[in-house]
Amino acid sequence: MCLGIPGQVVDIVDAEQALAKVDVNGVRRNISVRLLTDDNLKIGDWVLVHVGFAMAKIDEREAAMTLDQVQKMGADYANEIEAFNSSEIA
């Protein structure tokens, strides 16, 4: 639950509700980017995703490292991705 998983912003879905579509290791889901209002997120930016919210903007290097780290968590990462897959934020 406390995992922060890197995702890349691929679309701004609803600017008013601050919803963006992010790609997490090939899976695309909507998340809220409201917490990063001050970061002026653009398509292509990387963020740490936690319980459906972008919690920090990160660079590509940090994203690659974090992804490698969380993937090594095995079942915990699989559970997190399964939960992310089941998400239907709109």
Partner 1 sequence: MKFVDEFRDPAAARALVKSITELATGDEFKFMEVCGGHTHTIYRHGIEHLLPESVELVHGPGCPVCVIPMGRVDDAMWLAEQPGVIFTTFGDMMRVPGSQGSFFDAKAAGTDIRMVYSPLDSLKIARQNPDKQVVFMAIGFETTAPSTAMTMLRAAAAGLSNFSVFCNHVTIVPAIKAILDSPDLRLDGFIGPGHVSTVIGCRPYEFIARDYGKPVVVAGFEPLDILQSIYMLMLQLSQGRSEVENQYSRVVPWDGNLVALKAIGETMELRPYFEWRGLGFISHSALQVREKYAAMDAERLFQVPGVRVADPKACQCGEVLKGVLKPWECKVFGTACTPETPIGTCMVSPEGACAAYYNFGRMNRTRVAEAAQAGRS
Please say whether the beta carbons of 23 and 62 come within 8 A. no
Q: Which is nearer to partner 1, 23 or 62 (CB)?
A: 62
Q: Which is nearer to partner 1, 12 or 55 (CB)?
A: 55
Q: What are the φ and ψ backbone dihedral angles of 74, each rounded to 5 degrees? A: 65, -120
Structure tokens at 73: 């968590």
Stretch that binds partner 1, among 7-15, 20-28, 79-87 (CB under 8 A): 79-87
CB atoms within 10 A of CB 42: 9
Using CB under 8 A as the binding rule, the residues of this chain from 47 to 66 that contact partner 1 are: 48, 50-53, 55-56, 58-62, 64-66
Q: What is the CA radius of gyration of the chain?
A: 12
Contact string 2-41 vs partner 1 (x = CB under 8 A): xxx------------x-------------xx-xxxxx---
